[in-house]
Structure formats: structure tokens, C-alpha cells
Amino acid sequence: MRSLKNKTLFVTGASRGIGLAIAKRAAQDGANIVIAAKSAEPHPKLPGTIFTAAREIEEAGGTALPLVVDIRDEQQVQSAVDKAVEHFGGIDVCINNASAISKTGTLATDMKRFDLMHSINTRGTYLVTRTCLPHLLKSSNPHVLMLSPPLNMEARWFSPNVAYTMAKFGMSMCVLGMAGEFRGQVAINALWPRTFVGTAAVQNILGGETTMKRTRHPEIVADAAYAILTKDTSFTGNFCVDESVLRQEGVTDFSQYSDCPESDLIPDSFV
């Protein structure tokens, strides 16, 4: 039976949104969740902290370890991984969900914002994965999952927001390379939504309430992630789209994931 019971998941950016939804789905099996995120104090524009997330995860049936982690800081990442291993005995799954976004053109994207996106998205993903790998290699069914898009190398995905696309594709290039490097040892895949998902990024950056009404709930990505993470390690090097994953699992009715008609949903970038 496919299950994440007693598995330990190290999830970046799990204090809210998609990261929290994935954590809560795994918690239903009785998984251990390491919440690696910066949100220790309430934010005026962003819901949730690592501590409110921990309560939700434990209410869902899991065991939570909330840790304040800035994934740009190598020492903080190493310390968090060490604490996770000490607390739970190992790491079975690494989920790189933390991300920075600025969908701005070249002249509107200053180097501070460029560096932020690359240090969190590409470098942070590489760092967290690299730090978890020695422990993943000891697991019976280890997985790494990046919340990053298919590598569609077309100008239409770069021209509106070169810096952001480069940073997100950097995460996906980690999948391409590491899946080959660790084939047969660790499953390494990417997952991306087919449509906009109702998160703080959409609320605050990508259109506000009008756009939020045309999104799917984060649970669709969580259910797709669960399907991937409960496969064996032969499933690796894939650039998955949430809806396609669930259709392969036999899901045909997606109305549970949205409050609007299918025709009103906004397609996400890169797919």
C-alpha cells in the first residue's frame, strides 16, 4: 500500500500555500514534517507562521518540527538538516517549495531582486538538496521534489520576465542533472500546476482577488505531490504537471479543486 507513514519530509516554505498543503497531505498518513521556513512571526500581508503550520500538520495526523530557516544561508540549512535527523532519525523526502517571484521585465528588475530570486530559487534549491542528499541516500525510498516548471526553452516564457524564468528554470535544471546523477538511488522530479493556484503570490503579486477567483486550491498540487512521492525511485527525472499526474491516477472530476468553472481557470506559465 502506498503511504508516507513514518516518513520524514523536509519541506521548504511550508508555513503556507502549496508547501503547507503538501505537508498536510503527507500528515494524513502519519508522516513527520520538518517545516523549514522564515516565518516565525505573523506577517501583515502573508498568512501563517511555522508554528501555526505545525498545529495544522499535527491536527491532520502528522508530527511537526518547525524550524526557522533562510535557505540562502548555508549554516542555517545545515543546522536544520542536522536537527531534523537528530529529531526524526533521518530524511526520506526533500521538497523544494520555497521561491521568490518578480514577474518583471529586464529594465524593471534591479540586481537586488535578481539576486534574491536566484539565491532562493536556484541556489537555495541546490543547497537544500545537496545538504539532504547524504541522508536521503540512506532511505529506503528517497525522493526530491522541486516545485518548478517543465524546461520549455521558448522565448515566450523568457521575454516577459527573463530573471524570474532563469531562476525557476535553474530549479528545473537541478532536476535534469541530479536525476541523472543519482538515478537508481534517489527519485528527483519537478511538479508544476496547470493553472494558477490560489496562494499569497497570486493574492499579492499576480492579480489580487479578481485572479484568486479563477484559481485552483493548493490541494490539487498536494494530491499530485503525494502521488509522486509514493512511487518508487524508478520514477525520476520527470517534469510533472499536477492535473496530468492526477489523471494518470484515475481522477476525472477536478471540480473539488476550484470554486469556478473549468473554462474560467487561468493557465499557469510554462505549460
Q: Kindly tell me if the per-residue pLDDT of 176 is higher than 70.
A: yes
CA–CA gap between residue 212 and residue 201 (Å, rounded): 10
Q: Could you give the percent of the chain with pLDDT greater than 70?
A: 98
Q: Provide the whole-model pTM.
A: 0.95
User: Residue 89's closest CA among 187, 8, 5, 185?
Assistant: 8
pLDDT at residue number 1: 76
Q: Which whole number is the average pLDDT over 58-62?
A: 98
User: Residue 234's closest CA among 190, 189, 183, 191?
Assistant: 183
Q: Kindly tell me if the per-residue pLDDT of 199 is higher than 90.
A: no
Q: Which whole number is the average pLDDT over 153-176?
A: 97
CA–CA gap between residue 259 and residue 246 (Å, rounded): 18
**Catalytic option among 126, 164, 226, 257:** 164
Q: Is 164 a catalytic residue?
A: yes
4 pLDDT tier (thresholds 50, 70, 90): very high
Exposure string of 82-103, with b = 16+ CB inside 10 Å and e = fewer, is eebbeebeebbbbbbbbbbbbe
Q: Which whole number is the average pLDDT over 124-148?
A: 98
Mind listing the domains of the chain with CATH numbers?
8-264 (3.40.50.720)
Q: Kindly tell me if the per-residue pLDDT of 208 is higher than 90.
A: no
pLDDT at residue number 207: 67
| Whole-angstrom Cα Rg for the chain | 17
Q: Which uninterrupted H or E stretch holds 233? A: none
3-state helix, strand, coil in the chain (%, to 5): 45, 15, 40
Q: Kindly tell me if the per-residue pLDDT of 89 is higher than 80.
A: yes
87 pLDDT tier (thresholds 50, 70, 90): very high
CA–CA gap between residue 251 and residue 33 (Å, rounded): 26
Q: What is the 3-state secondary structure (H, E, C) of 76-124?
A: HHHHHHHHHHHHHCCCCEEEECCCCCCCCCCCCCCHHHHHHHHHHHHHH
Residue with cell 519537478: 190
Report yes or no: 247 and 194 within 8 Å, Cβ to Cβ.
no
**Ordered strands of the 8-12 beta sheet:** 63-68, 32-37, 8-12, 93-96, 143-146, 187-192, 239-241
User: Residue 131's closest CA among 76, 185, 77?
Assistant: 77
Q: Which residue did the predictor score with more confidence, 172 or 259?
A: 172
